[in-house]
Amino acid sequence: YAFPSWVLSIFGQAYTTGQASLLILVTGAFVNAASGSVIIILNMTGKQKLAHRILLVVGLLNIGLNGGLIPLLGIQGAAIATTLSTIAWNLTAAYAIYRYYGFWTFQFTKLFSA
């Protein structure tokens, strides 16, 4: 837990209170990186309308989650809303790619395949 504090202290001591938010956001960033370029794949393979719908629904989800969580949890609520939205868009798009093209974009799925 010292690492987030050090990173945030680069911007000033007042920012170190955001450690929990940073860790929450890093979780979303990890899922985003692990899922690959799912929206780009959908766009490049003629499924741009699907990609658009996914991002539209997830954008509305993000607005709703932010509206509900920020009053309750403050900055951590915003981090949770953003992370959940990021995970939702990546998992939904990854599933769409699997459904239409028969492969998972997650690299670690190779560990479980025969």
**pLDDT of 110 strictly over 70:** no
Average confidence (pLDDT) over 26-54: 95
**What pTM was computed for the model?**
0.83
> What integer is the mean pLDDT of 29-41?
94
pLDDT of 56 higher than 90: yes
Mean predicted confidence (pLDDT) in 65-69? 98
Sign for the pseudo-dihedral over CA of 87, 32, 41, 55: positive
Average pLDDT value for residue range 36-48: 96
Contact of 44 with 108, CB cutoff 8 Å: no
Using one digit for the tens of pLDDT, what is the confidence trace for 5-33? 777 778 887 777 788 898 899 999 999 99
Angle of helix 19-35 relative to helix 75-101, nearest 10 degrees, comes to: 10
Instruction: Kindly indicate the confidence band of residue 114, based on its pLDDT and cuts at 50, 70 and 90.
Output: low
Phi, psi angle pair for 53, to nearest 5°: -65, -40
